[in-house]
Structure 1
Amino acid sequence: MSYETLTYAVEERIARITLNRPERLNAINEAMPGEIRAAVDRANDDDGVHVIILQGAGRSFCAGYDLKEFAEAETPYIQEMPWDPTLDFRHMKANTDDFFALWRSYKPTICKVQGHAVAGGSDIALCCDIVIMAEDARIGYPPARVWGCPTTAMWVYRLGAEKAKRMLLTGDLIDGREAKAIGLVLDAVPAEQLDDRVAALAARMAGVPRNQLMMQKLMINQAYDNMGLAGTQTIATLFDGIARHTREGMAFKKLAEKEGFHAAVALRDSGAPIPDDID
Structure 2
Amino acid sequence: MDKLLYETDGRIARLTLNRPERLNAIDDELPLLIEQAVARANDDPQVRVLVLSGAGRAFCAGYDLTYYAEGNPGKVTQDMPWDPMKDFAFMWRNTQRFMSLFRSLKPVICKVHGAAVAGGSDIALCCDLLIMAEDARIGYMPARVWGCPTTAMWVYRVGMEKAKRMLLTGDVIDGAEAARMGLALKAVPAAELDAEVERLAERMATIPANQLIMQKMMINQAIEAMGLNETQRLATLFDGITRHSPEGLAFKRRAEKVGWKRAVAERDQGLWDWTEDRPTNGAPDPLDGRGGAE
Which TM-score applies when normalising by structure 1? 0.97
Give 2:43's match in structure 1, choosing from 6, 31, 45: 45
Q: How does 1:148-187 map to 2 (within 5 A)?
A: 148-187=147-186
Q: Report the RMSD for the aligned CA atoms in angstroms.
A: 1.1
Q: Is contact 1:145–1:170 with CA below 8 Å preserved after alignment?
A: yes
2:189 equivalent to 1:197: no
Task: For residue 204 of structure 1, give the secondary structure of its aligned residue in structure 2.
Answer: helix
Q: Is contact 1:54–1:109 with CA below 8 Å preserved after alignment?
A: yes
CA distance in 2, matches of 1:187, 1:204: 15
Shift in Å at residue 274 of structure 1? Answer: 3.2
Q: How does 1:36-185 map to 2 (within 5 A)?
A: 36-72=34-70, 73-185=72-184
CA distance in 2, matches of 1:120, 1:76: 15
Which amino acid in structure 1 is aligned with residue 274 of structure 2?
A: P
2:274 equivalent to 1:275: yes
Shift in Å at residue 273 of structure 1? Answer: 4.7
CA distance in 1, matches of 2:170, 2:104: 29
**Structure 1: runs of 5 or more not aligned:** none
CA distance in 2, matches of 1:75, 1:153: 23
Shift in Å at residue 152 of structure 1? Answer: 0.2
CA distance in 1, matches of 2:257, 2:73: 13
Deviations 1:112-147 (A, max 9, x none): 000000000000000000000000000000000000
Task: For residue 244 of structure 1, give the secondary structure of its aligned residue in structure 2.
Answer: helix
Deviations 1:81-138 (A, max 9, x none): 1111000000000000000000000000000000000000000000000000000000
Task: For residue 79 of structure 1, give the secondary structure of its aligned residue in structure 2.
Answer: coil
Which amino acid in structure 2 is aligned with residue 147 of structure 1?
A: W
1:7 matched to which residue of 2? Answer: 5
1:26 matched to which residue of 2? Answer: 24
CA distance in 2, matches of 1:39, 1:258: 38
Which amino acid in structure 2 is aligned with residue 158 of structure 1?
A: R
Q: Is contact 1:146–1:274 with CA below 8 Å preserved after alignment?
A: no
Which TM-score applies when normalising by structure 2? 0.92
2:263 matched to which residue of 1? Answer: 264
CA distance in 1, matches of 2:19, 2:265: 23
CA distance in 2, matches of 1:206, 1:74: 44
Which amino acid in structure 1 is aligned with residue 3 of structure 2?
A: T
Which amino acid in structure 2 is aligned with residue 98 of structure 1?
A: R
The structure with more radius of gyration: 2
Which amino acid in structure 2 is aligned with residue 232 of structure 1?
A: T
**Structure 2: runs of 5 or more not aligned:** 279-287, 289-294
